[in-house]
Amino acid sequence: MPKRSNDFQKVILHLQSLTSPGYEVKESHFLKDSITGQMREVDIVIESNIAGYESIVSIEVIGWSKKKGDIEWVERMACKHNTLPTKTLVLVSKSGFTKNALKKAEFHHIVTLTIGEALKTDWINLVKSLGRYEEISNNYSCRIDTKKYESDTGPPEIEGSRIFARKDVNEGVEIKVIIDWILQNNHLKDAIFSSIDKNSSRNYTIVYTPNSPMYVIETNGKFREIATINLDLKSRQKTYHFNMSSGSFRNNDVAYGTHTGNNSNAIITLLKNGQSPEKITGYIEDKEGVRVITGKLSGIEDKENK
């Protein structure tokens, strides 16, 4: 069975997601043919519903060769989508289109896109520096030990997953917020991350003792002071070497690249924010899933799960 998706299609998927906030963007989605009833696969589908009116934008992508999108491909896609619920058809070719293909696309009211060359020096220089990308991921489990009282007959039963700085139910925050704050401590990060070898993982146990009182709530509604927050942490570092390309897509500076090696494939897609020129957003995707990347022109500085 042929591969449903290719690297360039995923790049376009990510770029569409970045440039279409608030819309549902789906890859390798199926639409129903109005004549045969057959479900036809479309590379990328953007669905929206505005004021009760449904709109479907279908995107077909070719990026498997250096050959330009030709008139035969345009005609084939026009015929395919003529009986699908596509409102707007967009064709994307990695290598551009022939002149006749562009004429035929215009006749059929088809939007044609490609990734052109980016001319801004600051962006090109940054892209050159992004060939090497290092990522550190943390997985943890948490246990909270509370202070013991003479009246205790057993371990307390804790209610919910919030921590309180004061004995006030309106002052609580999620435990995850506190854990993230602990892990962001620069001394802790330096001590842990400097001991991780390239492309390896290590396990740690972190015991945090609050400097000022912090509380959890028992099932009986009483506040119980925290003694320690204990984290069993597994940190892993991965290093990717991307073959990067830069260009412009829908009037946005973009960069994208692929990594293949050591049984680990990955794709990175970055978009320069037109309203905030110093800001970069994007995705990195590998076998473990898709993560959001944010940063500045000086370099990528933050990441989180998508």
pLDDT in tens, 229-288: 998 888 777 778 888 888 888 888 888 888 877 667 889 898 887 666 678 888 988 887
For residue 287, what are the domain limits? 121-131+244-305
pLDDT > 90? residue 167: no
pLDDT > 70? residue 297: no
107 and 18, same structural domain?
Answer: yes
Check: CB of residue 39 under 8 Å from CB of residue 31.
Answer: yes
* Higher-scoring residue by pLDDT: 73, 182: 73
The residue out of 51, 80, 113 marking a domain boundary is 113
Encoded tokens for 17: 């997601």
How many domains is the chain partitioned into structurally? Answer: 3
Mean pLDDT of 73-78: 96
Q: 226 pairs with which residues across the strands?
A: 146
pTM for this prediction = 0.66
pLDDT value of position 100:
97
Check: CB of residue 272 under 8 Å from CB of residue 253.
Answer: yes
In whole angstroms, what is the distance from residue 182 CA to residue 187 CA? 10
Q: What is the share, in percent, of the chain residues with pLDDT greater than 90? A: 27
Assign 168 to helix, strand or coil: coil
186 and 104, same structural domain?
Answer: no
Tell me if 71 is assigned to some domain: yes
Ramachandran class of 262: left when φ > 0, alpha when ψ lies in -120 to 50, beta otherwise: left
In whole angstroms, what is the distance from residue 125 CA to residue 23 CA? 32
For residue 249, the number of C-alpha atoms closer than 13 Å in the C-beta half-sphere is: 27
